[in-house]
């Protein structure tokens, strides 16, 4: 058999498969109607396992894994169709719709909490996100969450990801512990500068005060100046504050240019980060949900059962819905050994009924599921 003949055979088989697929999905509709009438749930793990076992036993061992993978995809499509019949008015779907309907409006002249001191990158992000905000400073990221929880601020600004260094793990771990909504996101361009006391030169510097992530982002610069030793601190602006207090020409701070004016320092070198596109993604959190008309990003937190394929099956539902995942982060679940909490971002809006239904279905099905917000995020 030549290539054309083989392809013609495949085309003929495809025609038969399409016809069988249509018949199968029509049968699925009958199952869905029955389940809805009798108050049954969509996912029946025992039935699914039995089908996959039968498929595996029905083909040659060499093709068994391929066949199971195909049937897993078919069953995901079947469940998606069933949900469109059964779960369009489920408690979870209604809860999502209620959240969207009752979303509030932005607070004018808000109180905004950030970690660090004046000149910190979080401070710069806060000023961009809330130009008319009254900004207060917290010692730790956890304190931002506590300030929000205790009503000491209207919004809290937190870094969640850097384009060079990746996720801010500590913030993700804190997100699991508090109740909040994400109402804004902003990718802040990060341009690191080396600041010293007045009269200092780059040749004088022996110690650089900064946070480890910022130092890492400027690794190439410090490889060229190996005599400069890192002194870790809690925040880049705190580094500038400490250098100004020391008054030592051998000490410098790696931080934002804004810190030079704030703390009376000189710029010894600027834009020394390795990549010109370096940016940190900041989020604004609130006790109350806000969904702007131009909302384009949705964030979720959930856990999954510790069984084979659970993450794949969950993510496949977003793919079937044509939704683009932009971030998935996993963190250890301290409540259960070797299980994880997942954080998911995707482009979308609750104004799309199919998206609201998908999230509502997940709300119904997962033991832990938190809708974190539907907000606007500009492109980096």
**pLDDT one-digit tens code per residue, 28-58:** 999 999 998 888 888 888 999 999 999 999 9
Write down the pLDDT at residue 83. Answer: 86
Q: Do 299 and 243 share a domain, yes or no?
A: no
- In this structure, the strands spanning 155-162 and 279-286 are antiparallel
Residue 152: band (very low, low, confident or very high) from pLDDT cuts 50, 70, 90: very high
Do 82 and 95 fall within a single domain? no
pLDDT tens digits for range 308-346: 788 988 998 999 889 999 999 999 988 888 789 999 999
Whether 74 is covered by a domain: the verdict is yes
> Is residue 58 in some structural domain?
yes
Does residue 51 lie in a domain region? yes
Q: Which of 350, 354, 300, 368 is nearest to 102 (CA)?
A: 350
Residue 64 in domain: yes
Output the domain CATH number for residue 352. Answer: 3.30.70.260
Rounded to whole angstroms, the Cα distance separating 275 from 31 reads 55
What is the value of pTM for the model shown?
0.87
Residues with active-site annotation? 280, 282
Terminal CA-CA length for the chain: 53
Contacts of 149 (CB under 8 A, 6+ apart): 178, 179, 287
Question: Are β-strands 111-115 and 155-162 bridged in parallel, bridged antiparallel, or unpaired?
Answer: parallel
Within a domain: residue 162? Answer: no
Is residue 99 domain-shared with residue 76, that is, in the same domain? no
Would you say residue 89 has pLDDT above 80? Answer: no
How far, in Å, CA of 301 to CA of 172, rounded? Answer: 10
What confidence tier does 1 reach under pLDDT thresholds 50, 70, 90? confident
Helices 91-101, 353-365: inter-axial angle, 10-degree rounding: 130
Task: Looking at the structure, tell me whether residues 8 and 54 fall in a common domain.
Answer: yes
CB 253 within 8 A of CB 195: yes
**Number of domains present in the structure of the chain:** 3
Same domain, 351 and 328: yes
pLDDT at 28: 96
**Long-range pairs of 75-78 with CB within 8 A, sequence gap ≥ 24:** 75/48, 75/51, 76/313, 76/316, 76/317, 76/320, 77/25, 77/320, 78/24, 78/25, 78/28
Q: Look-up: residue for tokens 């963190």?
A: 331
Cα–Cα–Cα angle for 56, 58, 59, nearest 5°? 80
Looking at the DSSP bridge assignments, the partners of residue 280 are 162, 188
| C-alpha count within 13 angstroms, C-beta hemisphere, residue 330 | 7
Q: What is the mean pLDDT of residues 121-143?
A: 97
| Whether residues 367 and 332 fall in one domain | yes
Best-predicted range by mean pLDDT (87-91, 217-221, 250-254): 250-254
In a domain, 203, yes or no: yes
Let me know if residue 120 belongs to a domain. no
Find the mean pLDDT for residues 127-144. Answer: 97
- What are the Cα distances from residue 6, in Å, to 9, 165, 267? 5, 50, 70
2 φ, ψ (degrees, to nearest 5): -85, 180
d(CA 369, CA 364) in angstroms, rounded, equals: 9
The residues pairing with 286 across neighbouring beta strands, listed in sequence order, are 181
- Can you give the CATH number for the domain in which 227 is found? 3.40.190.10
The pLDDT value recorded for residue 321 is: 87
State the pLDDT confidence band at 371, using cuts at 50, 70 and 90.
Answer: very high
Are residues 364 and 92 in contact, defined by beta-carbon separation less than 8 angstroms? yes
Q: Phi and psi dihedrals of 338, rounded to 5?
A: 60, 25
Residues 262 and 321 in one domain: no
What are the φ and ψ backbone dihedral angles of 75, each rounded to 5 degrees?
-70, -30
Q: What is the DSSP letter of 300?
A: E
Of 145, 20, 5, 136, nearest to 74 (Cα)? 20
Is there a single domain that holds both residue 312 and residue 260? no
Are 197 and 243 a contacting pair, CB within 8 Å? yes
Q: Is residue 83 part of a domain?
A: yes
For residue range 65-81, what is the model confidence (pLDDT) as tens digits? 999 999 998 998 998 89
Domain final position from 270, 301, 317: 270
Question: Which one of 223, 241, 270 terminates a domain?
Answer: 270
pLDDT value for 187: 97
Q: Domain limits at 230?
A: 193-270
- Asked if pLDDT for residue 16 goes beyond 90, the answer is yes
The reported pLDDT for the residue numbered 266 is: 98
Q: Has residue 263 got a pLDDT over 90? A: yes
Q: What is the pLDDT of residue 320?
A: 84
Beta-strand runs (E) in the chain = 111-115, 134-138, 155-162, 166-167, 181-189, 193-196, 207-210, 229-232, 251-255, 266-270, 279-286, 297-303, 325-332, 340-347, 369-375
Residue ending a domain, choose from 87, 116, 136: 87
């Amino acid at each position: 058999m030549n290539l054309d003949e083989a392809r013609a055979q495949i085309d003929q088989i495809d025609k038969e498969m399409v016809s069988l697929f249509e018949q199968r999905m029509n049968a699925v509709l009958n199952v869905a109607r029955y389940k809805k009438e009798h108050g049954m749930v969509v996912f029946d793990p025992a039935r699914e396992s039995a089908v996959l076992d039968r498929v595996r036993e029905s083909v040659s061992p060499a093709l068994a894994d391929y066949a199971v993978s195909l049937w897993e995809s078919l069953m995901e499509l079947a469940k998606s169709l069933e949900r469109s019949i059964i779960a369009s008015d489920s408690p979870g779907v209604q809860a999502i719709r209620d959240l969207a309907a009752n979303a509030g409006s932005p607070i004018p002249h808000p109180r905004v909490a950030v970690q660090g001191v004046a000149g910190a990158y979080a401070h710069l992000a806060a000023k961009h996100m809330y130009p008319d905000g009254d900004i207060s400073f917290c010692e730790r990221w956890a304190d931002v969450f506590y300030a929000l929880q205790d009503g000491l601020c209207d919004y809290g600004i937190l870094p969640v990801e850097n384009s060079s260094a990746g996720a801010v793990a500590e913030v993700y771990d804190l997100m699991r512990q508090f109740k909040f909504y994400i109402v804004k996101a902003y990718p802040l361009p990060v341009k690191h500068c080396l600041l010293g006391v007045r009269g200092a030169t780059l040749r004088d510097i022996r110690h650089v005060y900064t946070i480890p992530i910022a130092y890492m982002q400027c690794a190439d610069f410090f490889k060229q100046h190996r005599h400069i030793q890192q002194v870790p601190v809690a925040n880049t602006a705190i580094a500038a504050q400490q250098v100004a207090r020391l008054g030592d020409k051998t000490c410098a701070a790696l931080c934002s240019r804004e810190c030079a004016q704030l703390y009376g320092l000189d710029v010894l070198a600027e834009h020394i980060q390795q990549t010109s596109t370096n940016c940190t993604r900041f989020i604004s959190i609130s006790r109350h949900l806000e969904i702007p008309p131009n909302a384009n990003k949705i964030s979720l937190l959930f856990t999954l059962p510790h069984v084979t394929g659970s993450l794949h099956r969950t993510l496949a539902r977003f793919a079937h819905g044509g939704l683009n995942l932009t971030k998935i982060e996993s963190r250890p679940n301290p409540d259960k050994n070797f299980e994880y909490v997942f954080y998911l971002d995707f482009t979308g809006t609750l104004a799309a009924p199919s998206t609201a239904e998908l999230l509502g279905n997940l709300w119904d099905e997962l033991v832990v599921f938190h809708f974190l917000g539907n907000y606007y995020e500009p492109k980096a």
